Structures are given as C-alpha cells and as structure tokens.
C-alpha cells in the first residue's frame, strides 16, 4: 500500500472512477487529491476541496471494489486528515453516508448541525445537494 498525490495525468483515471459512482468530477485547481495504490495498482481515491485558505471539504473517498477489505480507506482518510493539518486548515467538513459516521469519528470528525450559521455556505449547498441526489441518508461532519 502506498499513497501518492495526484498529478494532471491522473485526472482521467480519477474522473472515470467518480463518473462510475455519480460523484462530482475533480480538478487540481483547488483540490488536493490522494491516490491509494495496492501492489502498484491504483486502488482508490480521495480529495480535499479547498473552499478558501482556512476551510476545506474532504470527500470523494472511493476504494475500487476489488481492493475493499484491505483498510485502504482508513489509510486514505488518515492521509487526507494529516494533509489538512499540514495546510493549517481550521475547518474540514465531510458529508459521508450516515452508515459511515463511526468510521469518520475515528479520525476526529463529529456531526454538525446544518442550521449553524458558521457552516460554510458551499458545504451547506453540497450537503443539501447530496440529500436530494443520493438514496442513502448523508450527514454533515466537521473535523474537531
């Protein structure tokens, strides 16, 4: 297992994966994208979308089916959390499916009330989009 930071040449592969699962495409313009590999093969992807110099939304966490059960998502999320700290971000939001709430809690994420005025407006818009878009319920979390 290894994790590397995406380059422009990785974007076609990244966005092909996101298209398969209905996630918003990525770009490197305002994103830090990590690719997790297993035995030299791309196995998953995740991203930090920089909202401004102090806030980001972590998401797009996806492990290809044939690589699930190898704790790659754990490594990937841990890497993204470490990156958010190294960037000095004050607020990192996450909008996981509710069934993954406890997984993200292991990294320091806690549920946030979406009615709180301090939540970034772009995050609230995406949260509401996710509620409408996905059949499974989603929650709003913030890194504590």
pLDDT in tens, 34-55: 999 999 999 999 999 999 999 9
For the cut 80, the answer to whether the pLDDT of residue 116 exceeds it is no
Residue 10 neighbours by CB distance under 10 Å? 17
Task: Give the whole-angstrom CA distance, residue 19 versus residue 31.
Answer: 17
Residue 114 near residue 127 (C-beta atoms within 8 A)? yes
* pTM (predicted TM-score): 0.93
Q: Percent of the chain, pLDDT > 70?
A: 100
Determine the 3-state secondary structure of 15 from DSSP: helix
């Amino acid at each position: 297992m290894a994790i590397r930071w995406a380059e422009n040449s990785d974007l076609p592969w990244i966005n092909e994966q996101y298209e398969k699962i209905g996630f918003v495409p990525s770009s490197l313009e305002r994103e830090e994208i990590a690719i997790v590999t297993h035995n030299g093969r791309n196995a998953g992807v995740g991203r930090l979308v920089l909202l401004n110099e102090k806030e980001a939304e972590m998401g797009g966490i996806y492990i290809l089916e044939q690589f699930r059960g190898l704790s790659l998502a754990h490594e990937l999320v841990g890497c993204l959390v470490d990156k958010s700290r190294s960037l000095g971000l004050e607020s990192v939001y996450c909008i996981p499916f509710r069934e993954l709430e406890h997984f993200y809690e292991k990294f320091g994420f806690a549920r946030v009330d979406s009615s709180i005025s301090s939540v970034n407006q772009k995050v609230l818009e995406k949260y509401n989009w996710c509620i409408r878009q996905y059949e499974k319920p989603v929650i709003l979390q913030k890194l504590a």
